Structure 1
Amino acid sequence: MGGLDRLRDFSLLRWLREERQSRKLILLIVFIALLLDNMLLTVVVPIIPSYLYTADNQEATAPNYTVSPQTPSGTFQTIVSLYDNSTRVTAGAGAAFTTAMPPLPTSPAAPTNGTAPDSDCHEGDKKLLNENVKVGLLFASKATVQLITNPFIGPLTNRIGYQIPMFAGFCIMFLSTLMFAFSKSYSLLFLARSLQGVGSSCSSVAGMGMLASVYTDDEERGNAIGIALGGMAMGVLVGPPFGSVMYEFVGKTAPFLILAVLALLDGALQLFILQPSKVEPESQKGTSLLTLMKDPYILIAAGSICFANMAIAMLEPALPIWMMETMCSRKWQLGVAFVPASVSYLIGTNIFGVLAHKMGRWLCSLIGMLLVGISILCVPFAKDIYGLIVPNFGVGFAIGMVDSSMMPIMGYLVDLRHVSVYGSVYAIADVAFCMGFALGPSAGGAIARSIGFPWLMTIIGVVDILFAPLCFFLRSPPGKEEKMAILMDCNCPVKTRAYNTQDTQNYQMDDGMETESEE
């Protein structure tokens, strides 16, 4: 039996070694990493606004407990009401003096089982409106830090490979999740959110670069990235309702501890499959980050990603507060309101990950940008949570169209116009994504407080509609002369593979050998 067990263990280890470079397993790892990262990103959406508002009100109405001198002949007790610090119940040695004390109030943001409107309605509450800025800055901190980190992670992956940055992203995310679970002050929550930005930068840049390097065909790459974005969509889908339900019925700590356990499982999977270690640098030196950022076609693709995601980024901090103010929404409703957007994003990424290649990714993105703008303009017309279903569904579906089209285009543009090394270009794509989630909450919170939530939605909706026609320029982007000559000589469609522009003859020889072997 011992020999049989050793044989099974050996077979398992051999299978792991053989499957280590399996494209499907790599896709699975990237899928899970994006899933957990975006669950942590969105699980705070319904929790933080209500938690901070409740904490601020409890601090503002905190009672001053005073103890009177104790007499030797008996006990003395003072109970201070949250409503009136002068209301007491006093027991003396021979007599009791009792003053009526009202019941302790419930938290202003917490729902009650009754129908009293005061528990959930905050219309005209200036404190609630002021939370827009605090919540917006906290939400934006993650994207801001990620924005700063990305330009360093992209070139780093070209030097040491994708495995180590990927595993580092898991470690940082695990630490950030624990900080969210046990932090009670605004400053610690802000630090946890910022730390998550570093981990997200490692996971997203390394993950997308890894997929682009193992899926070399343009159509296959589009399908793989669409599946990976499905992990992002699943995280966005599950995060808000999971957070809101757990927060109301269990507490703030529970959802983050569950995420921490899931993150540990993801780390174990990475250790077994990827076995993080430094690899040899790319045989070709990638195009510099600055050169890629000067490419107008890459900038248009990045702009589409930025402005499309900025719409949902502005909704995340502002919509729950607007719902609390105008709809008297319960805590669980603050997260459930984002479910239509999450479901439709998952549908959009899976459908257009395949369909966008056939219909034209530029057209898919153009339609998506228009649909984002129109849907965002319809959000303020909702009178209750049911009125948010259609516009939020449209927002998520349209962003799925844009992301599933523009992410593969970033790799396609590098293959067509630059050296086919993908770390830096996906760092730019992630920078664009982060700019949307950095500028969206921070600027959106200030705008919502100054001129109101409806005007905030109008501004970002109009911006998306005006940007949409620029996607037409991605219809047929020109390639560099060297690469176009290679493609014309071999009479083959553009494929995202590592072309060696310095040695055209070797490429043609390799392509001819591949053609003969296929025949």
Structure 2
Amino acid sequence: MALESLCFLRQWLREEHRSRKLILFIVFVALLLDNMLMTVVVPIIPNYLYQMDKPATSPQNLSSSFQNIVSLYDNSIKTSSTSTQVSTSPSPSPSPSPSPGLVRANSSDCPSSKSSLVNENVKVGLLFASKATVQLITNPFIGPLTNRIGYQIPIFAGFCIMFLSTIMFAFSSSYALLFVARSLQGVGSSCSSVAGMGMLASVYTDDEERGHAIGIALGGLAMGVLVGPPFGSVLYEFVGKTAPFLILAFIALFDGALQLFVLQPTKVEPESQKGTPLLTLMKDPYIIIAAGAICFGNMGIAMLEPTLPIWMMETMCAAKWQLGVAFLPASISYLIGTNIFGTLAHRMGRWLCALIGMVLVGISVICVPFASNIYGLILPNFGVGFAIGMVDSSMMPIMGYLVDLRHVSVYGSVYAIADVAFCMGFALGPSIGGSIAQSIGFPWLMTIIGLVDIMFAPLCLFLRSPPGNEEKIAILMDSNCSMKTRTYSTQEPYQGQDPDLDLDPDYDEDYD
């Protein structure tokens, strides 16, 4: 019975490989897994490394001596030390320890901006930064590779690397192995994101459908960022270090099994069209504008994340739980924004959606320093996440549209550029933002990045009607008109598979 059920499931999956929705689900799970693994380590690794380096330190001393300030987006770790008073004179009986409420009420325990508030934890910072660095280096190689061999093998390779990285995180007990695991994650993330976005662009050739599909896929990214930290902290606290990683490894196996049955990455297929060289795409001013919107839009939250917790401690004397909760509105609104504007951006104009989003990002980050408590941060942080969702859900599809309009419709390289822009925003933002905030203060930092976003916004006007090849424009218009009964005779839309394979289950065979 079990064998018959397995054969039925395998046959069902092989039949469903014609459905684009199942391919979208695979990419969604791949991005969800990548970003959950990226953020699940945030509440685990700092405490684990500290206990590993200083096993003699008791948990009480650990919690009273260090407070970890964790960024959920750029993964930077800051550590603030609080002084403890130790009485040198003998006392007949130990004095009772003050309650947390009394300690919080005491103004001497609240950090001030004049004091040495935070010291960077170099080991943890290097560990977390290795992922973004490796991903940034790998992207320019993955893009052209997908142009040559198709999208199936790179995305499956990303699954294999991600699975290996997850297992290493679960069972590694040394800093060197954890560093290797984090670096491997960067390679796997590059394969999954570049090949996944390129696959969606090749399957969803209609601009409106493509935007909706990419918006759903970006929802997987947002859910991973939102769910990862609480998922990791709860399981680490009550079960142990290996539990969250083993669960993620099981999710990875599920996604890998779907890829084997649906995508069937068994052999390398020669490219049907020679893709535009990466350097040529990088010289395209319209692609650079779209990539710049992705970079500067995300740089706003990238600068906000490592500096806002410190500012909250200085001005609000915020509790540790508030440092993480303050960013929940941004994560939730990003999830909402990507799903809403995945479709709406096509109707209102992607250039207009990105322009409004960039202006809204700038206004929101400028308003952040005006908050006097954590409740005052809800609206501006919500605006930041929602606006970035507008920018990402409009610029990611327009990257594919620009390639269709001005170059060869092979998408690996252009989404490698998009991923590089995304990584640059989160790599440069924290490093630049920290030094600026230290020099001129947090409010001025927010004002500067807000003005940069607002000034960059008018450049999106150039994306309103970018020029293109007349023959390609005619093909795109014809494709949009016959979207409901789409055929793929003009080009091979899904590299690495049979060109006669119909990927749309609603295709009307009697149309021709």
- Which band: TM-score by shorter chain? 0.7 to 0.9
After superposition, the C-alpha distances for 1:488-507 in whole angstroms (9 at most, x for unaligned) are 8x697698978569xxxxxx
Name stretches of at least 5 consecutive residues in structure 1 with no aligned partner.
Answer: 64-81, 88-97, 107-111, 502-513
Q: Are 1:160 and 2:155 matched, yes or no?
A: no
**Residue of structure 2 in register with 1:39 after alignment:** 36
Structure 2 SS opposite 1:321: helix
**Residue of structure 1 in register with 2:500 after alignment:** none
**Residue of structure 2 in register with 1:362 after alignment:** 351
The separation in 1 between residues aligned to 2:438 and 2:169, in whole angstroms, is 26
Residue 116 (structure 1) shift:
1.1
**Residue of structure 2 in register with 1:294 after alignment:** 283
Q: Are 1:468 and 2:457 matched, yes or no?
A: yes
Residue 452 (structure 1) shift:
2.9
Q: Which of 86, 89, 103 is residue 116 of structure 1 equivalent to?
A: 103
User: Superposition RMSD on alpha carbons, in Å?
Assistant: 4.0
Residue 283 (structure 1) shift:
0.5
**Residue of structure 2 in register with 1:343 after alignment:** 332
Going from structure 1 to structure 2, the CA distance change for 1:322 and 1:199 (only over 3 Å counts) comes to farther
Aligned residue pairs, count: 470
**Residue of structure 1 in register with 2:263 after alignment:** 274
Residue 131 (structure 1) shift:
2.3
Residue 121 (structure 1) shift:
3.7
Going from structure 1 to structure 2, the CA distance change for 1:211 and 1:86 (only over 3 Å counts) comes to same
Contact 1:29 1:269 in 2 (8 A): yes
The separation in 2 between residues aligned to 1:445 and 1:294, in whole angstroms, is 31
Going from structure 1 to structure 2, the CA distance change for 1:171 and 1:484 (only over 3 Å counts) comes to closer
After superposition, the C-alpha distances for 1:265-312 in whole angstroms (9 at most, x for unaligned) are 333333343333233132111001011111100110111111111112
Q: Which of 4, 7, 10 is residue 10 of structure 1 equivalent to?
A: 7
Contact 1:163 1:278 in 2 (8 A): no
Contact 1:420 1:498 in 2 (8 A): no
What does 1:323-402 correspond to in 2, within 5 Å? 323-402=312-391
Single out whichever of 318-327 and 305-314 deviates more from structure 2. Answer: 318-327
Residue 122 (structure 1) shift:
3.3
Structure 2 SS opposite 1:157: helix
What does 1:27-426 correspond to in 2, within 5 Å? 27-45=24-42, 113-117=100-104, 121-124=110-113, 128-131=117-120, 139-180=128-169, 191-243=180-232, 255-426=244-415
Going from structure 1 to structure 2, the CA distance change for 1:160 and 1:467 (only over 3 Å counts) comes to same
Going from structure 1 to structure 2, the CA distance change for 1:380 and 1:420 (only over 3 Å counts) comes to same
**Residue of structure 2 in register with 1:25 after alignment:** 22
Contact 2:10 2:261 in 1 (8 A): no
The separation in 1 between residues aligned to 2:432 and 2:415, in whole angstroms, is 25
Residue 145 (structure 1) shift:
1.8
Contact 1:181 1:253 in 2 (8 A): yes
The separation in 2 between residues aligned to 1:369 and 1:294, in whole angstroms, is 23
Going from structure 1 to structure 2, the CA distance change for 1:480 and 1:354 (only over 3 Å counts) comes to same
After superposition, the C-alpha distances for 1:108-144 in whole angstroms (9 at most, x for unaligned) are xxxx754312797433485543328877665543222
Residue 261 (structure 1) shift:
3.8
Residue 15 (structure 1) shift:
1.3
Identity %, equivalent residues? 77
TM-score normalized by structure 1?
0.78
Residue 30 (structure 1) shift:
0.6
Residue 217 (structure 1) shift:
1.5
After superposition, the C-alpha distances for 1:191-213 in whole angstroms (9 at most, x for unaligned) are 54433221110110011111111
The separation in 1 between residues aligned to 2:396 and 2:320, in whole angstroms, is 35
The separation in 1 between residues aligned to 2:58 and 2:442, in whole angstroms, is 28
Single out whichever of 398-407 and 436-445 deviates more from structure 2. Answer: 436-445
After superposition, the C-alpha distances for 1:356-413 in whole angstroms (9 at most, x for unaligned) are 0100000000000000111111122222222211111001100000111011101100
Contact 2:353 2:391 in 1 (8 A): yes
Structure 2 SS opposite 1:115: helix
Residue 10 (structure 1) shift:
3.2
The separation in 2 between residues aligned to 1:332 and 1:250, in whole angstroms, is 21
After superposition, the C-alpha distances for 1:463-499 in whole angstroms (9 at most, x for unaligned) are 11111000000000010244246568x6976989785
The separation in 1 between residues aligned to 2:385 and 2:8, in whole angstroms, is 44
Residue 235 (structure 1) shift:
1.3
The structure with the largest alpha-carbon Rg is 1
The separation in 2 between residues aligned to 1:251 and 1:451, in whole angstroms, is 42
The separation in 2 between residues aligned to 1:28 and 1:464, in whole angstroms, is 33
Q: Which of 443, 457, 472 is residue 454 of structure 1 equivalent to?
A: 443
Q: Which amino acid aligns with 1:297?
A: Y
The separation in 2 between residues aligned to 1:494 and 1:369, in whole angstroms, is 34
Q: Which amino acid aligns with 2:320?
A: K
Residue 164 (structure 1) shift:
2.2
Going from structure 1 to structure 2, the CA distance change for 1:102 and 1:342 (only over 3 Å counts) comes to same
The separation in 2 between residues aligned to 1:410 and 1:425, in whole angstroms, is 7
Contact 1:240 1:339 in 2 (8 A): no
Structure 1 SS opposite 2:301: helix
The separation in 1 between residues aligned to 2:233 and 2:185, in whole angstroms, is 20
